[in-house]
Amino acid sequence: MTNADYDLVIAGGGMVGSTLACALSDADFKIALLESVPLERIRPGEETDLRVSAINRASQRIFAAVGAWSDMTAWRVSPFRDMRVWDAGGFGQIHFDSATLGEPLLGWIIENRVIQYALLERVRQLPAVDLLCPAALETAWPEDAGGWRVRLTDGREFTTQLLVGADGAQSKVRELAEIDTRGWSYHQKALVANVRTAEPHQETAWQRFLPTGPLAFLPLHDGRCSIVWSTTPEQADQLLALDEYDFAHMLTEASERRLGEIVQVRPRGAFPLRLQHARAYVKPGLALIGDAAHVVHPLAGQGVNLGLLDAATLAEVLLDGLAAGHEVGALRVLRRYERWRKSDNLPMLGIMDGFKRLFGNSLPPVRLLRNLGLNLTDAAGPLKNAMARRAMGLEGDLPKLARAAS
């Protein structure tokens, strides 16, 4: 399709979709980015939002390369330099610190809203991108001549050579493309809240593996912590129903008082956890990125980082295809993206699922083995450092936007 209204329509202006739009802004592409939530509702407020992401070094490089990082830091970002993990069912523990790795820090904790707003503000400056906001996809269908015809909920219609689904775990694009997923519910909810502790967080991410799931304390810029407490749906609902005093007491005990008493609790929320993976990432004239393609357990904070690598990889593949004279929606171009990202995403999904199951097993022999494993890994410097560097996005088959400047 050479006479389409757009070269790309990106359904979903969240962190991943807006990153893709920014990454392609200098190419000879005409792009439409659809975001259903009005900008004024995305703009960060004075209070730190409940939903945050652990951003690794590769993702930070992507944000810097597309011109959005400085706006994020102007709002608020929270660096962390250490990570301490321990098992509630025994003696195992592991400690990662940036100094040992020869790095200034491990990563940043940033509100999702800060990331999305900074990226959308960058999009608004780009002449090649039409930001349609608020706008939502109603339906889409493949055209006989190639590409897709898109209809929005407000009745507008246009054609595109490539339709990109960046519209989350319940992706409408994936549904319209009839791409199946495989996966399962973890029968867990992640309870989130911002809390203040009696002791300083020391720019450290703290994570305790409880029998019902991991409890993480993530350092925030103002001295508070963002907690992510993965537990059974029944316990999550009970914790949400507690008053502030009783919840603070329960949280203090669950954390073994590593940061002292919980002295302040802000409003709480919760969301269900599952593993999900699309059987295909691409079809002719269509691609899936981010949670539309894969959903992972949040215990290692890798979900958004994987999605941002999707965006950077798809951008690189499309630019290479353009330079080679291929149409933007050509399946041979999109297959390269699928092969590249599946080879990275599938092992990560497997590892995170394995960790979840390992630490959720209460059988005494399993508890003993995992505690020994934690301590042995902690003592094995090269192995531990290799794991950390991979998680930080310092090593691996990275797209150009995610690599360190040579």
Could you tell me if residue 174 is inside a domain?
yes
CA dihedral 175, 177, 183, 189 (to 10 degrees): -30
**Which domain CATH number covers 290?**
3.50.50.60
For the chain, residues with pLDDT lower than 50 are: none
Domain extent for 47: 6-182+274-402
Beta-carbon count within 10 A of 47 CB? 10
pTM: 0.95
Could you tell me if residue 246 is inside a domain?
no
Could you tell me if residue 226 is inside a domain?
no
pLDDT for 95 equals 92
Count of domains for the chain: 1
**Cα distance between residue 261 and residue 251, in whole Å:** 9
Could you tell me if residue 84 is inside a domain?
yes
Answer for the pair 122, 394: CB distance below 8 angstroms, yes or no. no
At 107 the three-state DSSP class reads strand
Could you tell me if residue 47 is inside a domain?
yes
Could you tell me if residue 265 is inside a domain?
no
pLDDT for 352 equals 65
Instruction: Write phi, then psi, for 377 (nearest 5 degrees).
Output: -65, -40
pLDDT for 398 equals 96
pLDDT for 346 equals 85
Could you tell me if residue 397 is inside a domain?
yes
Could you tell me if residue 263 is inside a domain?
no
Instruction: Write phi, then psi, for 72 (nearest 5 degrees).
Output: -65, -45
Answer for the pair 328, 7: CB distance below 8 angstroms, yes or no. yes
